[in-house]
Chains A and B, each alone.
Chain A
Amino acid sequence: QSVLTQPPSVSGAPGQRVTISCTGSGSNFGAGFDVHWYQQLPGTAPKLLIYGNTNRPSGVPDRFSGSKSGTSASLAITGLQAEDEADYYCQSYDSSLSGVVFGGGTKLTVL
């Protein structure tokens, strides 16, 4: 059971928009800690996709965007492409655990 809750899977057709939710609690998002997102392509290490709730590292397309409100956060992907098929993880810090926490991951399938 992960501290941050994500849907196990989402899917969308090429060109569509999909969102991935990440639900936390008062000891992480609600305490003001940021959400970060990672993309893990099959057989590779995770890659930072969004940091500090809404910021994209250099090289990440603007098709990817993040948001956070209260105890929930979401990742949106517009103009879905086949290469976006991957696992996506949200991550934050939890004051009750005094450590980093991850969501369970969401598998994105491009139909």
Chain B
Amino acid sequence: QVQLVQSGAEVRKPGASVKVSCKASGYTFTNYDISWVRQAPGQGLEWMGWISGYNGNTNYAQKFQGRVTVTTDTSTNTAYIELRSLRSDDTALYYCARKVVGTTYFDYWGQGTMVIVSS
């Protein structure tokens, strides 16, 4: 069965960076894209970017360009998101989700990783 298992919660100070992982299993990793979506406490869903599992091409939301990097390691079927220059409003639950190539929807989601930014 398809599974996306994310790394554990992180606490960072403002200005620091954080890197969250998402390990995929149960499907051919290179046949799908991985997207990242975050959700601030009590708020809605916010798309951050996606990466092709096939060739590593990325597409980032304009809001995060220059501050986010999404990568993959096809040897371990793992995707990563790194967010830099953290601010308190980056405190959120970060989800990875599988995206079918050529479409824009997300059919499987990870369990989420809580990132807390606090001094």
A residues whose Cβ falls under 8 Å from a Cβ of B: 2, 33-34, 36, 38, 45-48, 51-52, 57, 89, 91-93, 97-105
Contacts and interface: CB of A to CB of B under 8 A. Distances in A.
Secondary structure call for the A interface:
strand
B62 A98 contact: yes
Interface stretch (B39-47, B73-81, B83-91): B39-47
A104 B44 contact: yes
Interface centre among A38, A93, A99, A104 (most CB of B within 10 A): A99
A42 B104 CA distance: 24
Given A45-B110, A45-B111, A46-B95, A2 B44 contact: yes
Kindly state the interface size class of chain B when it binds its partner: 20 to 34
Contacts, number: 65
A45 B112 contact: yes
Shortest Cβ-Cβ A-B pairs, 10 listed? A100-B47, A36-B105, A45-B109, A105-B44, A93-B104, A51-B105, A102-B45, A99-B61, A104-B44, A48-B107
A33 B44 contact: no
Nearest to B6: A45
B61 A97 contact: yes
B44 A92 contact: no
